[in-house]
Every structure is written in structure tokens, then in C-alpha cells.
Amino acid sequence: MPTERPDLVSPPATTILSHAKDLPNLCSLSGLACTLLAIHSSIAGMYEAAMIGMIWAVAFDWADGLIARAMPGRTGTDRVFGGQLDVLIDIISYGVTPAIVLLSYGDFGYAYLPGAFVMLAASALRLSYFSTFGLSDESKYTGLALDNNNIFLVFLFLFEGAVTQESFSIILYGCGLGLAALNVSSIKTPKLSGKRINVIVLALYTLGITAIYAAKLP
């Protein structure tokens, strides 16, 4: 159920679909498409394609903020709408998708439900916290930012064939819980997105990961 926003007191002069033409929002929706690919591929057991979708979701997530900051003339409403869209997509990209990866790799066994729930709940709590209270420090986050979940998991899956499926499922379970704990922890972590050098590193990482997993596709 949508919640009322007391800071938006006047009726909007725009339609819902008009915001889909906004370039940063188009970028966000492209990331959502990559996330849908990752979810579909995970359920189908095609983890190579899932990892490609997951890392491109991060790339588009970083890109939408860069584009938004570089665009002149964006209104306060544009920024609010884009921020809300970004949060909604983040919970799917960094909460739902990793949880589905864990469930799928565990053959959707009931034993994997608690781990998937913890990962999803940690994501929801983190996003709700920062949507409510914002950032106290523009250069650092409290806890591990959710995009790091995808960045780490696509790296972890590079070693999936080094051990048995049962062993890797245990490793994946433990890493998922560890990431969830870091997401809601009080440790200070640097804000990586928005800095040029980090964007370049992510771009190279995304292209490298894509090439590696694309070569493994059946």
C-alpha cells in the first residue's frame, strides 16, 4: 500500500509515465531489467547469466546517480521521484535477487528460507533507515552498502566449480548471512559510488565479469 508523503502537499502536474522519459530513471529501469534477468536465470539454474545480470544492475545503479548529478535543470520533484524509484529497485536488486540466488542454489529447500529471509530483511531495514534518516556523512556509510552484496557474490561464484555443490551452498549461505550482518552493522564503510576512479574500476570489473561468465554460458 502506498504511503502518503507529507512533503508533497500539492497534486503533481505530471503523469506517472512522464517520469519514465527522465534519463536517470531510464537508467534505473535498465538496471531493473538486468535484475529481472538475474532472477529468471537464478530460478532456471543458469547462474552465469544471473551473475551478468547482477553486476550490470550495479553498473546501471551507479550510472543513474552520475547522470542525475550531471543534468542541469532537474527539479526537486525529479530528484524525489528518482530517489524513491532508486530505493524500490534497490530492494529488488540487492535484497530479493541475492535471496533468490541462495534459495535456487539450495534447490529451494526449506533450510535455506531463514537465510534468504535474513538477507532480505537486512536489505529492507537498511533502505528504510536511510530513507528515513539520510546520511550523516556524505563520504561514508554506516554499515556495508547493499550494492556490495552483488559485487561480492558475482566474485564468489567464480569459484563455484572449485568445490562440490553441497560445499558451495554452505559457503554461499554463510556469506549471505555475513553480508546481511554487515549491511545493518554500525561499522563505517567508504562510499564508493560517485567517485571517478571507483566508477572506472567498476566499469572494468563489470566488463571482465561479463566476459568471464559469458564464456561459460551453455
Question: What top-level class would CATH report for the domain 22-216?
Answer: mainly alpha
User: How far apart, in Å, are the Cα atoms of 164 and each of 114, 177, 201?
Assistant: 22, 20, 31
pLDDT of residue 1: 44
Taking the domains of the chain in order of start, what are their residue ranges?
Answer: 22-216
Flag residues of the chain having pLDDT under 50.
1-6, 9
pLDDT, tens digit, 9 for 90 and up, residues 89-119 = 999 999 999 999 999 999 999 999 999 999 9
pLDDT of residue 159: 96
Residue 4 burial (CB < 10 Å; 0-12/13-18/19+)? Answer: exposed
Share the mean pLDDT of the chain. 89
Furthest CA-CA distance within the chain:
58
SS3 string of the chain? Answer: CCCCCCCCCCCCCCCCHHHHHCHHHHHHHHHHHHHHHHHHHHHCCCHHHHHHHHHHHHHHHHHHHHHHHHCCCCCHHHHHHHHHHHHHHHHHHHHHHHHHHHHHHCCCCHHHHHHHHHHHHHHHHHHHHHHHHCCCCCCEEECCCCHHHHHHHHHHHHHHHHCCHHHHHHHHHHHHHHHHHHHCCCCEEECCCCCHHHHHHHHHHHHHHHHHHHHHCC
